[in-house]
Chains A and B, each alone.
Chain A
Amino acid sequence: MTKRDAPRPPRLAVEIAGVRFKNPVLTASGTFAYGVEFAHLMDLSSIGGIVVKGISMKPIKGNPPPRIYETASGMLNAIGWQNSGAVEFVTQKLPALKKIDTRIIVNVVGFSLDEYLEVTQFLNDCPGIAALELNISCPNVHRGGFHFNKNPRDAYQVTHAAKKASAHLPLWVKLSPNVTDIGEFAAACEDAGADALSLVNTLVGMAVDAETRRPRLRFVTGGLSGPAIKPIALRMVWEASRKVKIPVIGIGGIATASDALEFMIAGARAVQVGTANFYNPAASQQIALGIEEYCRRHHMEDINDLVGSLRI
């Protein structure tokens, strides 16, 4: 085979709201800390981006334990947004993150609209961040979070205000699956100016200890994640991507390259790997490699040709 005949490597780069990602694999908020913890276990530059755990303006202690419980093909969590606050994030964590050859997305949280706006504005002035992901879908706090994702009107309002507050950074909105019609929420956020949507966050669930008759989580309910939710997440990505023109990033039980490809076929421009990082720290790197291998096998020149290519 001459040099001319050798197949060109597939193009894996995707673009989301003007930001180029070297490949469509990102890690999900709350599952990958600040990257450095995983640095010995995988090549951090092999993935398209890291979404950092939800940051609030002021430090949040989080919920009392027990905070996690494994269930069939998944797990429940009720962490409660524990983080050291935006100032500590920017001074202590961001410098090391910026050195990694991958995109850094920061997930932002708040208990009220004002808190969302404050942290959004603060982080906009920090170089090294490629985009913000608005977390309006966490089910593990008594105020804020999910409470902006119960009604499309509230989702519109918080997105609209946050978009205005985000002068320099693209704004992604992370949606909850605990709704009747995700397409409605997707459309509302797009109308409000969201640059991209990431879905889904966790499903509300619970577990009980039959011997003690107590809930397994101190918070009683928690968010279900992992392979158990993949069919629901996949369906929602398909529904949402049909309703909007902005990019959709798929999340929900992605553990293998095949999972990631299924989400892209259903309409996702990129994916986030979450729970899989816990039991397989190099999962995201393996998925990125697997996507490349798939493209070669199918003689696909550009991964973008796969997005929304579901054959019905």
Chain B
Amino acid sequence: MLDRKAKIKSVGDLGARNYLLTIAAVEQARLTLPGQFVMVKCATDVNQNPLLRRPFTVFDTHPNPRTGRPAGLDLLVRDVGAGTRRLTRMRPGDEVYILGPQGRPFRLPSDMRHRVRFACLVAGGVGIAALLLLARKLMALEVTPVLFYGGRGVEDLVLRDRFENLGIEALYTTEDGSHGDRGAVTQPLEKFLSRHARQGSRIYACGPWGMMKAVNELALRHQIPCEVSLEARMGCSLGACMGCVVRARDDSGEEQFLRVCQEGPIMDSRIIDWDTPPL
């Protein structure tokens, strides 16, 4: 984990307040594991407002087409407030402080293909950010990813071409029916699980709290291990301030507060108290 000042290479407008930022942070890209995040200062001076850095999952590490080595960081940033507004208005050449990569990554044992046939990647809107590095790694481990991607409308289903280009089967849903099936993303997921669960599956989900709660219920019903990528307002991201906690239950049913920056952001969906959203 490093703290570096890095240049912004591009700010791509994906529509509907979504942007893809590419940052020349090679050292940090090389250290990133699927599911990890970086903390970005949304101002050029470290003491400027807004003070606190913002956490962003690393969407991609730009593998060099020839060598395969990571060459930079791609972050999916949604303009939702003061920090992200500043960040998405920056220009190529601007420098930002980046701290990371950090956090608990997805658990991907090297021999998982013996136990797992399908990996169901479930994304809600910008939750897609957590799943590309994961998809590539799963394919390298000979596990077949299947993408279930939902949103309110087609404008929320950003960056889907990055998955389609990998040859991944994708099922889309939108609440307004503007793309894919009309309805919630859990519907095609449920259908898929009813057919394939027994062949060995895993679920990896990232999206709004309510979506992940529903996915967890499906996972429990079909007895499939499920990991989720959580979000929380963060202070230090280093495990010091205890600000970013989520309510969880341990094996004995005792309530604990776990840090999304250290014990997460990737967590076993079964331990989370889904009735108490942190944000």
| B-binding residues in A (CB < 8 A) | 30-33, 37-38, 40-41, 53, 61-62, 64-70, 72-75, 77, 79, 82, 226-227, 255-256, 275-282
Contacts and interface: CB of A to CB of B under 8 A. Distances in A.
10 contacts: A30-B240, A40-B1, A41-B238, A67-B242, A70-B51, A75-B235, A77-B243, A79-B242, A226-B51, A281-B99
Contacts, number: 107
Contacts of B2: 40-41
Nearest to B238: A37
Task: Bin the interface of chain B by size.
Answer: 35 or more
B47 A255 contact: yes
B81 to A, nearest CB: 9
A40 B240 CA distance: 14
B270 interface: no
B180 interface: no
Nearest to A72: B49
A68 B276 contact: no
Given A72-B49, A75-B235, A279 B41 contact: yes
Contact of B50 (A30, A31, A70, A276): A70
B240 A279 contact: no
Q: Is the interface of A mostly helix, strand, loop or mixed?
A: loop
Interface string B13-26: 00000000000000
A64 B46 contact: no
B257 A65 contact: yes
B240 A31 contact: yes
A62 B235 contact: no
A278 B236 contact: yes
Contacts of B255: 61
B246 interface: yes
Contacts of A256: 47
Interface string B229-256: 0001111111111111111000000011
B238 A73 contact: no
B53 interface: yes
A40 B102 CA distance: 12
B3 A278 contact: no
B257 A64 contact: yes
A280 B47 contact: yes
B47 A68 contact: no
Contact of A69 (B41, B233, B241): B233
Given A67-B244, A75-B51, A278-B235, 15 more contacts: A32-B240, A37-B239, A41-B3, A53-B240, A66-B233, A67-B242, A68-B235, A79-B241, A79-B242, A82-B245, A226-B51, A278-B51, A278-B52, A278-B236, A281-B99
B156 to A, nearest CB: 20
Contacts of B236: 31, 277-278, 281
Contacts of B1: 40-41
B232 A70 contact: no
Contacts of B276: 64-65
Query: Which of the listed residues B2, B246, B278 has the most CB atoms from chain A within 10 Å of its own CB?
Result: B278
A56 to B, nearest CB: 14
Given A61-B255, A65-B257, A66-B278, A37 B240 contact: yes
Contacts of A226: 51
A62 B242 CA distance: 9
Interface string B34-76: 0000000100001101111100000000000000000000000
Nearest to A62: B257
